[in-house]
Structure 1
Amino acid sequence: MKKPTASIVDHFEELADPRIERNKKHALIDIIVLTICAVITGSETWEEIEDYGHYKEEWLKSFLPLQNGIPSHDTIRRLFIRLNPDELQRCFMSWIEAVRDVIAGDVIAVDGKTLRRSGDQVSGKLPIHMVSAWAAGSGVLLGQKKTAEKSNEITAIPALLELLKIKGCIVTIDAIGCQSEIAATIQNKKADYVLALKGNQKNLHEDVKYFYHELEEKDLAEEWLDSHTTVDKDHGRIEIREYYQSDEIAWLPELKNFVGAKTIGMVKATRIIGKKQSTECRYYISSLPIDAQRFAHAVRSHWSVENTLHWTLDMTFREDDSRMREGYSAENFAMMRRLALSLMKRDKYSKKSLKRRRRIAHLDNSYLTQMLFSSDEAIDRRLPG
């Protein structure tokens, strides 16, 4: 069977065009690919996308029709206001399936992020909150779902998971996603879960907390638990993380509501800066069998959605500064940023920062061409330095 092409153009050719016929002066695929290229190389506004197009028109014509030249920024803006976000995501996920092979044991971190300036106090429009599924190992976004506010993550997470191919993976979610229905959805998709515990599962949280406290008090940790410890040192700061896992769960009645639950876990994080020391404990339930090192890997990988995806979107792509609010523009442009990030993360050879890679992609058309059209194996452009 022929492997699907990795060309980004091929996967967006079937995108439904929301425009009426008389307004289709520029081909839809021209506008979409122009925007992707512009976002990768640093454009953050409709005007900057148009400017990028004019400066790169000759190169863009090497693989795009551009029969009527470069669209104006108003044309680009109007399209993204009306473009169906679900259709855009369908094309994105088609491309992801072509370039990413699901590997058993991959950690899929599910977490939400608010686009802070996408709301409007005058009109009463709330900021958009996006729930994303991030493949921690390969560093690519698998999908996203918009909610009206953070509390609606409970309904958005199962809907997002239903779209994904996650068989054999480990899904990690913060405490807001510690719901029996979400656990059942993950198990039905033939995947495992590690779910954080907090106040939304108050009784279960308190029981697990009490269990670990008692073991520590009575010095029974070695007998009842599997454990793993990591120590990180950086710029005068020491972080010690102790991971504990137990399969002694028969006494927890509320855990029976969670399909496939096998273990409970605790992470004891101690931070030492100079003479100051602080300790925090976090608690989890999981469908994983007892293996503290594997549990530790899942928990640490989940933090990458904050440290890699969300931090990069804010610091490199300046997402929180964006004032796009009309129609579907904020949601659709959020997908463009995440697509750009996923394309850049496929370059496994360069050790340069993403900021520098964006700059090089702006200067070197051949490097950007490989991002757009190559399979993972073919991305072998080792940048100088």
Structure 2
Amino acid sequence: MQCIILAAKEIEGIAFNLADLAEKLNQLTDPRDKRGKVYELGTILTMIVLARLSGADKPYGIFEWIRARRSSFISLFNLQRGQTPCLNTIRTLLEEVVSLAELESVLKQYLHEQYGGQNSALICIDGKTMRGTIPKGYQQGVHLLSAYLAQDGIVLKQIEVNQKENEIGAGPALLESLYLKDKVVCADAMQTQRTFCTHILAQGGDYLLWVKDNQATLQADIEQFFVPPRQTAGWYIPQLPYTSAVSVSKGHGRLERRTLTLMSDEYQFINWPGLAQVFKLEREVTTLATGVSRQETVYGLTSCTPAKADAHQILEWTRLYWNIENGLHYRRDVTLHEDDMRTRLTNLAQIIALINNFVVGLAQKLGYSNLASARRYFDASIASQLFS
């Protein structure tokens, strides 16, 4: 097969080689009867990945993108019948043939083998609804809960949340599929549940969680740590020992100052599985054009001991957590137009989400921070090599 190469941005010795990915995709189990099978499973998936990298988003757009390059693909993949797959073939393959578990494993393995990583300590967990799968007149569609390595840009695992449950019920199931020893799991306040924390600790990991109104008593207990002691005449009540860290960032017309105060609960005042430290995070965001500021204070807890994570480390992890929103979900929605894809085919929707995860991860591994810009480069580079 002709080699298609996508160069990394300002990173020497790293590139994307289509032949390597095609070899991986050809390892997928194909349950179809050999009689009447026109296209290899790996071949169709490779073309779909190329289409997604180049800017084709919906199934029909993918079909048109492939059809417009028919002569090049006939030569590239040695297609015997002189044609490329039709729209129905693509849809049927994604909905009925491809194994979600196998494809997820192969794409993740490819990124690891080619570009390394997946060794960062922080695993971020968050959910996302694919809005294009919500039927008219209903409120629920395909909702996926993902475990994301924020520093590597790689989704370790995503599972569908059953419509009869929510992320709280799906959280432990996601954890059971992960290797958590010496990892730190960070999730939003919805996952601040005893069962969730117990699962993490049992697997040798630690948790870092936000606490909000869904755990009102727990939040009130944590807030008390940060209330200055009331002084009484003749008595001196010392302030509990604490450490703090500050970060300042500027971008998108805003100046953000984040102050984290961290306290140890070494005497176990709060009855919570494995709790070691509690924290208060104060955010002040100033809009530079207007000078208007807004403040927000949130609380959280962690099983990490002071020896494992100080205030600076906790502050960094809380910042990295938002990469799952800004670095993954936002890009899937805004750049890859995931929510614009209207379908009632559950498996197809999840396969597209897996491929979107791969596109986001690959762009990051190749050094592209702007995914839209990366896709424009990919499109031009793929076209020049296909038509050369």
Q: Contact between 2:265 and 2:277, CA under 8 Å: does it hold in 1?
A: yes
The correspondence of residues 204-223 of structure 1 with structure 2, limited to 5 A, is: 204-214=218-228
Coordinate RMSD, CA, aligned: 3.1
**Structure 2: which 5+ residue stretches go unaligned?**
1-16
1:264 aligned to 267, 274, 278, which one? Answer: 278
Over the matched positions of the two proteins, sequence identity in percent amounts to 26
Match of residue 242 from structure 2: 225
Q: Contact between 1:18 and 1:84, CA under 8 Å: does it hold in 2?
A: no
The yes-or-no answer on 1:27 pairing with 2:27 is no
Match of residue 141 from structure 1: 155
The yes-or-no answer on 1:182 pairing with 2:196 is yes
SS at match of 1:202: helix
The correspondence of residues 151-190 of structure 1 with structure 2, limited to 5 A, is: 152-190=166-204
Match of residue 382 from structure 1: none
Q: Contact between 1:194 and 1:285, CA under 8 Å: does it hold in 2?
A: yes
**Structure 1: which 5+ residue stretches go unaligned?**
370-385
Deviation at residue 366 of structure 1 after TM alignment: 9.1
- Residues 339-358 of structure 1: per-residue CA shift (max 9 Å, x gap): 1211221102x56x211211
Distance in structure 2 (CA, Å) of the matches to 1:110 and 1:198: 17
The yes-or-no answer on 1:241 pairing with 2:240 is no
Match of residue 333 from structure 2: 314
Deviation at residue 156 of structure 1 after TM alignment: 2.3
Q: Contact between 1:30 and 1:65, CA under 8 Å: does it hold in 2?
A: no
Q: TM-score with structure 1 length normalisation?
A: 0.83
Q: Contact between 1:96 and 1:142, CA under 8 Å: does it hold in 2?
A: no
Match of residue 128 from structure 1: 142
Match of residue 118 from structure 1: 133
Deviation at residue 359 of structure 1 after TM alignment: 1.5
Distance in structure 2 (CA, Å) of the matches to 1:189 and 1:34: 39
The yes-or-no answer on 1:343 pairing with 2:362 is yes
Match of residue 374 from structure 1: none
Q: Contact between 2:268 and 2:275, CA under 8 Å: does it hold in 1?
A: no
- Residues 40-85 of structure 1: per-residue CA shift (max 9 Å, x gap): 1111122222222234445546763433441111100111121332
From the two aligned structures, give the one with the greater helix fraction: 1
Change (3 A) 1:133 1:96: farther
Residue type of the partner of 1:227? S
The yes-or-no answer on 1:332 pairing with 2:351 is yes
Residue type of the partner of 2:324? V
How many correspondences in the alignment?
Answer: 358
Q: TM-score with structure 2 length normalisation?
A: 0.82
The yes-or-no answer on 1:44 pairing with 2:87 is no
1:94 aligned to 91, 109, 112, which one? Answer: 109
Q: Contact between 1:168 and 1:191, CA under 8 Å: does it hold in 2?
A: yes
1:286 aligned to 278, 288, 302, which one? Answer: 302
